[in-house]
Structure 1
Amino acid sequence: MKIKFIGGAGTVTGSKTLIETKDKRILIDCGLFQGLKALRELNWDPLPILPSTIDCVLLTHGHLDHCGWLPRLVAQGFTGKIYCTAPTKSIANLVLLDSAKIQEEEANRANEEQYSKHTQAEPLYTITQAEAVSSFFKVVPPNKPIVIEDDITAVFENAGHIIGACSITVTVEGKTLVFSGDIGRDNDVLMFPPTKPTMADYVFLESTYGNKLHPNLDVKEELETLINNAIDQNGTVIIPGFAVERAQSIMFLLWQLKTEGRIPNIPYILDTPMGASALHVFLENLQWHKLSVDDCHEMSKMFSIVSEFEQTMRIIDDPQPKVVIAASGMVTGGRVLSYFEHYIGLENTTVIFVGYQAEGTRGRKLIEKAKEIKIYGNYYNVKAQIFQVEGLSAHGDQKDLLNWLSALKNVPKCVYLVHGENLPADELRIKIQNQYHFKCNVAMMGNEIEI
């Protein structure tokens, strides 16, 4: 049996891991590369194997870096099933349609304004191609073994992180392979703690924050201070929000702060159509998170939820102080770019980042104090105040990742670290070896191992 690291190795995006037996091929996740141009260009490359030869996909969760290449996979001949939980199916459908819409819009804009380096800019995939993926989803219940192919079984178990996210234990050829997906935090605002694996011959563990500990700070207090300071300056607060789970977490915390009288009565705006749709997924899947029906309804009342782009432009033109949550979370696309075009050059603007910023994204550049950023072919001076609230990350930190391994009753033959940049992954490797004495390697893109 061979395992091939097609994506999500040496980087935090593009997750794709292939299991190849003598007669079956199973792909774990099928994500989009984001960030550095060299990585984004990989999205246009064919897979090292024909999609038509892949028997099925096991999908850990619905974030773009785990599911965003599925339309290409289907368009290039994949005909198998995509196994996932019910919330993941709902979220992935939203994410893929949103991604396709943004790509079509940006390609059209590049052609109209002629800032593309290509003769004719084209989207990576279209809305029609994204819609075609939905019929391939096969919903599975959590915590129950599912027969995937012949003697191959899989168990999906809660990983925290976002609604529906799971780690997947695959039993194949008598071996137990555990794929972590993205591991959430043990003390997340909305998600339950991740379920820890108890047996594994091989573990494939994410390492996004492999070298970091989230600060032990009161995130509500941080948000309260940043928002009040911004309003005192008569400024606007922009929170680039991942539309799934982080947006809902921020809404929940801001609702609590406003209910407690700790932030002022100004407009609070959710400008991400996908984020609004994700609220319905929360209401339909109450067993997957900590919010009650009343919580969902009450916190939603506090926000003006924007659907049409004309509303976005009216909000941008309104000079009064406000708090805006707008996607995308890494500022790689979406409505937040329109806000940045207008507000990033104003000294009384406050930008609050609340999640991981991949290498090469505008978000990473801003938290690393870039003086200018490029949006739609134009450069904008950065005069806004930039902050990062690390305590709101949906990813577990080094301590959480080490804790996730703590329930193993056996010594795995090897732990492979994926979904992390090289330095964080290597620091986590050292920690795992020192704490557990497990053999541990950092996976490299394109590498193949035999087990």
Structure 2
Amino acid sequence: MAHPPTLQFLGATDTVTGSRYLIRSQGHRILVECGLFQGYKRLRDRNRIPFQASPASIDAVILTHAHLDHSGYIPALVRDGFRGPVYATPGTTDLCKLLLPDIGYLQEEEARFADRRASSTHHPAEPLYTAEDAVRSLNSFRAQDFDSPFSLPGGIEATFLPAGHILGAAQAHLNVAGHPIHFTGDLGRAHDPVMYPPRGLEPVNILVTESTYGNREHPQGDPEAELGAIINRVAKRQGVVMIAAFAVGRAETILIHLSRLLAKHAIPPIPIYLNSPMAIDASDMYQRHRKEHRLTQAEFEAMYKVATPVRSPDDSKLLNLRGGPMIIISASGMLTGGRILHHLESYGEDRRNAIVLSGYQAGGTRGASLAAGDTHLRIYGRDVRIEAEVIQVEGLSAHADSNELIQWMKAAPTAPAMTYVTHGEADASDALRARIKRELGWKVRVPEHMETISLEQPR
């Protein structure tokens, strides 16, 4: 007798990172998302333990978008024996070609830096995976267009639907042996300045939804005006504005706001530097996938003229000697690594300067610590005092907030038989669960880490 198809929650059930969902059907295994755990050390340590299912036993991976909490474990999965295809949209495939090797290189650099400063508990420090591992994993990618169904082992048919959020981002709609299940991935916003809104929810038996902003609403104010006000007051005191931005997606949003502010003379013409090779290279991707975003050709050209691109490590180091007034846009968005950390070391102790957190900060990250009011950050084994002004501009987020998530669900033609709330901190997931039950009357709950449910009889 054949076993009924199941879904196991391997990640993003008690955290907003590490999205991983394993479907078993007709003797086959399909992994939806393959993300890194980030934030608290107990979560990051999960990246170092053997994958919950043998990588060689997984037939295919379905990837909704390129952000690391959804894609960042793929190089390790391939290195450890996965030999199947990774299905993603063309935009996501292109961005992963930039993102994954860069992250592998960055992990190698951070391991070397930790060795030089003797700041690691491991000697020598070892990266989770290397740039070579990441490059090799790119051979597994198979691009699939939006709205084009494709077949997978186990009697599964999958379709990518637009999610907004960032370039290439998709919702994944699967029919698993007659049981329709829908993964939101990360849903974008209805009025995002760059991306179009997410596609509406179709009839489905099971919904697996993100809840990043499940307990919050984005501010009603204008994030562009808020960004302009920050720049004006810091420029008056000859300070440096350090904008921590995700290289994929958030950097483009900030650039379009800066170009508009300069065009209407709302900020002074101080030097602006885009210190992220990945964000620089992503500009070609936005040209290549014009139908996915709102930007006109004129807007696209204007946004990439406002900033001086910084590629080499030496040029990045020179910025730390330059002083203000200036604006530096650099990764990572939650201060988990990257060149932004070196800028914080150089400029964080000066109260004339400012640190702009451009969106959500996962618990346990340096960004979350700063947002909570901490005045010291541990960077490469050294405690760095932070005297610079810290501002979190949540209106820059590319995530749907709680109201937008509820409105997206409310427009569905029928209620799912069961909704699972994932990819959020515990308070955010539970708050969204309560709203879905109270306002929509749907059956809903927050699953446990490693829990397995039946797709025939979800509970």
| TM-score where L is the length of structure 2 | 0.97
Matches within 5 A, 1:41-190: 41-149=45-153, 151-190=155-194
SS at match of 1:405: helix
Q: Cα offset for 1:410? A: 2.3
Deviation string 1:61-117 (CA, Å, 9 cap, x unpaired) is 000110000011001111111011001001112111111111000111111221211
> Residue type matched to 1:54 in 2?
I
> Residue type matched to 1:333 in 2?
G
The partner residue of 1:255 within 255, 259, 267 is 259
1:312 is matched with 316
1:398 is matched with 402
2:326 is matched with 322
1:297 is matched with 301
2:347 is matched with 343
SS at match of 1:7: coil
1:447 is matched with 451
SS at match of 2:10: strand
Matches within 5 A, 1:184-203: 184-203=188-207
Instruction: Tell me, in whole angstroms, the C-alpha distance in 2 between the residues paired with 1:279 and 1:261.
Output: 25
**Alignment: residue pair count:** 451
Deviation string 1:42-79 (CA, Å, 9 cap, x unpaired) is 10111221011111000000001100000110011111
> Residue type matched to 2:394 in 1?
E
SS at match of 2:44: helix
Instruction: Tell me, in whole angstroms, the C-alpha distance in 2 between the residues paired with 1:320 and 1:111.
Output: 32
Instruction: Tell me, in whole angstroms, the C-alpha distance in 1 between the residues paired with 2:429 and 2:296.
Output: 37
Q: Cα offset for 1:195? A: 0.4
The partner residue of 1:206 within 178, 203, 210 is 210
Contact map agreement 2:154 2:177 (CA 8 A) in 1: no
Instruction: Tell me, in whole angstroms, the C-alpha distance in 1 between the residues paired with 2:389 and 2:100.
Output: 32
SS at match of 1:373: strand
SS at match of 1:237: strand
> Residue type matched to 1:334 in 2?
G
Instruction: Tell me, in whole angstroms, the C-alpha distance in 2 between the residues paired with 1:277 and 1:376.
Output: 27
SS at match of 2:282: helix
| Deviating 4+ runs (over 6 angstroms) | none
Instruction: Tell me, in whole angstroms, the C-alpha distance in 2 between the residues paired with 1:443 and 1:382.
Output: 38
Deviates more, 1:234-243 or 1:298-307: 298-307
SS at match of 2:384: strand
SS at match of 1:128: helix
Q: Cα offset for 1:150? A: 5.9
Instruction: Tell me, in whole angstroms, the C-alpha distance in 2 between the residues paired with 1:421 and 1:313.
Output: 35
The partner residue of 1:15 within 10, 14, 19 is 19
> Residue type matched to 1:5 in 2?
F
The partner residue of 2:378 within 374, 382, 387 is 374
1:417 is matched with 421
Instruction: Tell me, in whole angstroms, the C-alpha distance in 2 between the residues paired with 1:270 and 1:368.
Output: 27
Instruction: Tell me, in whole angstroms, the C-alpha distance in 2 between the residues paired with 1:318 and 1:408.
Output: 53
Deviates more, 1:295-304 or 1:134-143: 295-304
Output the aligned Cα RMSD. Answer: 1.0
